[in-house]
Amino acid sequence: MKKTIENRDDVNLLVRSFYAKVRADKEIGFFFNETIQDWEGHLEKLTDFWETNLFGGKKYKGNPIAVHNEVDERFGHRISPNEFGIWLNLWFETLDELFEGENVAILKRRARKMGTFLYMNIFENRRKE
Ligand code: HEM
């Protein structure tokens, strides 16, 4: 039986497994591989992000909207709904492979919502250029 997502260790496993898939993906891997230098730092930051998202607390401090606008600028505005769709499908796939339960549904829903929000902000940010 698969386990439920209960603590930081579970979130850390989720994040590491997810990024292994992302980095290997032909269509979106290069955005990450060419941007992120300190992978250990990134994986811990993303663990902070999802841990805070799920269980509360203040570990994550950052501005995902600004970060994604910068990534879109750096890559010549090549981020499209296709990239967000691939990201989300890898997220869903990782969650379903490793875990079950209510927190799986919550993390799917929150990522879907945030993806929509980030993309709409990227689109808006392009008007300024
Ligand atoms: C679909 C939902 C997505 C979510 C929830 C999400 C979430 C995040 C978060 C929380 C960070 C860390 C921000 C920080 O540094 O504080 C991040 C970083 C990053 N994201 Fe996303 N992301 C999504 C989609 C994407 C997509 C589609 C791409 C590219 C095609 C992307 C590329 C990146 C890159 C390259 C970084 C690292 C930026 C840097 O360290 O300079 N993300 N993402």
From the CA of 62, give the closest atom in ligand 1.
Answer: 16
**Index of the ligand 1 atom closest to the CA of residue 83:** 27
The confidence band for 48, taking pLDDT boundaries of 50, 70 and 90, is very high
Pocket residue to mutate for ligand 1, from 47, 118, 121, most atoms within 8 A of Cβ: 118
> Quick one: pLDDT at residue 107?
98
End-to-end CA separation in angstroms for the chain: 51
Q: What is the mean pLDDT of residues 37-62?
A: 97
Q: How confident is the model at residue 129 (pLDDT cuts 50, 70, 90)?
A: low
The pLDDT tens digits for 69-122 are: 999 999 999 999 999 999 999 999 999 999 999 999 999 999 999 999 999 999
With a cut of 90, say whether residue 23 has pLDDT above it: yes
